Amino acid sequence: MSTTTQHHRIVVAGSGPGGLSIAARVAAQGLEVALIEPSSRHVYQPFWTLAGAGIVDHELSVRPMADMIPSAVKWLKTSVTGFQPELNQLQTEDGQTLSYDFLVVALGLQIDWHKIPGLPERLGQQGVCSIYDFSGSEQTWELIRNFKGGHAIFTFPPPPIKCAGAPQKILYLAEEYFRKANVRDKTRVSYFCATPTIFSVKKYADALIRQCVKPRDIATHFNMRLKSVDAENRQALFENSESGEEQRIDYDLLHVVPPMSAPDVIENSSLANAEGWVDVDKATLRHKHFDNVFAIGDCAGLPTSKTAAAIRAQSPVLAANLLAAVNGQAPVATYDGYTACPLVTGYGKAILAEFDYELQPQETFPFDQSKESLLLYLLKRFVLPQLYWRALIKGRKWPWSKVGT
Ligand SMILES: Cc1cc2nc3c(=O)[nH]c(=O)nc-3n(C[C@H](O)[C@H](O)[C@H](O)COP(=O)(O)OP(=O)(O)OC[C@H]3O[C@@H](n4cnc5c(N)ncnc54)[C@H](O)[C@@H]3O)c2cc1C
């Protein structure tokens, strides 16, 4: 049985970029903050795409969590197992009940490998791989660089997922690598996508089809959802979401992006909306029913693409509104749904999609960001990681008004 042992002014649940940036901003104002996080390691997930293509070592994505958490923040190294926002309380894995004045939920999302029968036990083997995992990114590079030709399939699941651009980035990088390795002429490259278009914003969708898909002979199959994997026979079963028709396709390499959902601990609580995400107001990031609860990042029920770049824009808004609430004031800042995706289209090329809730481009630079460029690739490869480690997770001001991670 658990007992109430601790009360905190502000509790932040989860220490990804969302939780860390808020904890740092609020602690800098002299407020008492406890951060609940079970993991000893913080991961910079955007590097997993580059690791999957051999551009960086996957170990570069990891840093000790202890080095990331500001010294003024109290780290509780455990997991949240239940939320009772009606009582301003939550439970943790180590049997504690914590009470709080204000709560920020930043638990990220959960990856549902088990929802694709045949997938979890075959990852990294028999041609099946995924960059949506730390070790999976290394296994993906192993399979890509040892690929000798055949049918290479890349999938995209029903959204929402985190970084909806990553499934395409690894597709384009692999396709270019096959050319470098002289196996492209004996390789069919296919993209099976559960959505009706390649990207949600028309400007970038058109640019990707024109610059990448057509000239590079990539076969696209829309509204096709991966249902199961038969790794023994190297076959993938897809379902057409419009006709319900199923198709069994042979593959030699299968890059899978798994389905994703809200963490069970949120979905099973009164914090959740109908889909399981934290039910926050899309402008203020404050909970629709519990005024002392906020959410940031992948776990928040916001109608925008789930990225670290979105967190970069959400963080100052949430911090301002949380501080206003602490002072008994109404929310003072609004979030417009800004999100971004540096879509790497090859070794040395990228476009940079930036847009808002209305799916309108919100570009930072004074040139057309939908055109492939080396500059945007260098931004993604070298500049954004530094800004992530030095500014985003430390809750510091960003050098540009928009561009994300
Ligand atoms: C392959 C890949 C490529 C990507 N590329 C990009 C990119 O190029 N640009 C970009 O902007 N974004 C990219 N992203 C997305 C980005 O990494 C995520 O959107 C971002 O990490 C979300 O941050 P978060 O803080 O919401 O969640 P997370 O980073 O997932 O952090 C959640 C934290 O909560 C902790 N936690 C979970 N459950 C509990 C619990 N019960 N109790 C306490 N703590 C808990 C976890 O241990 C974790 O530390 C990519 C992601 C992937 C996987």
> 140: closest CA among 171, 181, 163?
171
- Does residue 338 register a pLDDT over 80? yes
Query: What integer pLDDT is reported at residue 122 of this predicted model?
Result: 85
Q: In degrees rounded to 5, what are phi and psi of residue 343? A: -85, 100
For the segment 117-156, what is each residue's pLDDT rounded down to a tens digit?
999 888 988 999 999 999 999 999 999 999 999 999 999 9
- Dist. CA 162 → ligand 1 center (Å): 8
Q: In degrees rounded to 5, what are phi and psi of residue 131? A: -85, 0
Ligand 1 pocket test target in 20, 35, 162 with most atoms within 8 Å of CB: 162
- Does residue 403 register a pLDDT over 70? no
Q: What CATH class does 112-260 carry?
A: alpha beta
> 7: closest CA among 31, 26, 27, 32?
32
Which of 19-33, 112-126, 130-144, 339-353 is predicted with the least confidence, judged by mean pLDDT? 112-126
Average pLDDT over residues 100-111: 98
| Pairing state between β 235-240 and 96-105 | unpaired
What band does 173 get if pLDDT is binned at 50, 70 and 90?
very high
- Does residue 283 register a pLDDT over 90? yes
**For the chain, how many residues are written?**
405
Q: How many CB atoms lie within 10 A of CB 231?
A: 18
Any catalytic annotation for residue 341? yes
Query: What integer pLDDT is reported at residue 120 of this predicted model?
Result: 86
- Dist. CA 179 → ligand 1 center (Å): 32
For the segment 360-389, what is each residue's pLDDT rounded down to a tens digit?
999 999 999 999 999 999 999 999 999 999
* Percent of the chain clearing pLDDT 70 (strictly above): 97
What band does 251 get if pLDDT is binned at 50, 70 and 90?
very high
What band does 317 get if pLDDT is binned at 50, 70 and 90?
very high
Residue 265 contacts residue 92 (beta carbons within 8 Å): no
Query: What integer pLDDT is reported at residue 121 of this predicted model?
Result: 86
Average pLDDT over residues 271-300: 98
- Does residue 2 register a pLDDT over 70? no
Q: Which atom of ligand 1 is nearest to the CA of 137?
A: 1
Q: Using CB atoms within 10 A of its CB, is residue 109 exposed (0-12), middle (13-18) or buried (19+)?
A: buried
- Dist. CA 299 → ligand 1 center (Å): 9
Any catalytic annotation for residue 163? yes
Q: What is the DSSP string of 144-210?
A: HHT--SEEEEEEE-SSP-B-TTHHHHHHHHHHHHHHHTT-GGGEEEEEEESSSSSSSSHHHHHHHII
* Percent of the chain clearing pLDDT 90 (strictly above): 95
Average pLDDT over residues 104-109: 98
The Cα–Cα gap between 38 and 18 comes to 15
Which of 203-207, 281-285, 342-346, 395-399 is predicted with the least confidence, judged by mean pLDDT? 395-399
Query: What integer pLDDT is reported at residue 402 of this predicted model?
Result: 60
Ligand 1 pocket test target in 68, 92, 170, 307 with most atoms within 8 Å of CB: 307
Quote the radius of gyration of the chain (alpha carbons, Å). Answer: 21
Q: How many CB atoms lie within 10 A of CB 307?
A: 27
- Does residue 230 register a pLDDT over 80? yes
- Does residue 405 register a pLDDT over 90? no
Q: What is the mean pLDDT of the chain?
A: 96
Query: What integer pLDDT is reported at residue 308 of this predicted model?
Result: 98
Joined together, the tokens standing for residue 338 give: 């800004």
Query: What integer pLDDT is reported at residue 246 of this predicted model?
Result: 98
Ligand 1 pocket test target in 163, 381, 394 with most atoms within 8 Å of CB: 163
Average pLDDT over residues 186-193: 98
> 75: closest CA among 19, 29, 25?
19
- Dist. CA 308 → ligand 1 center (Å): 7
What band does 397 get if pLDDT is binned at 50, 70 and 90?
confident
- Does residue 278 register a pLDDT over 90? yes
Average pLDDT over residues 262-272: 98
SS3 28: coil
- Does residue 404 register a pLDDT over 60? no
Query: What integer pLDDT is reported at residue 169 of this predicted model?
Result: 98
> What are the boundaries of each domain within the chain?
3-109+262-335, 112-260
Residue reference for tokens 């945007």 = 376
- Does residue 4 register a pLDDT over 80? no
**Hey, do 3-109+262-335 and 112-260 end up sharing a CATH topology, with the first three levels equal?**
yes
Query: What integer pLDDT is reported at residue 401 of this predicted model?
Result: 60
ipTM value greater than 0.90: yes
Q: What homologous superfamily does CATH list for 3-109+262-335?
A: FAD/NAD(P)-binding domain (3.50.50.60)
Which residues are near ligand 1 (CB < 6 Å)? Answer: 13-19, 36-39, 45-46, 48-49, 79-80, 106-108, 131-132, 162-163, 166, 263, 265, 297-299, 306-309, 311, 342, 404-405
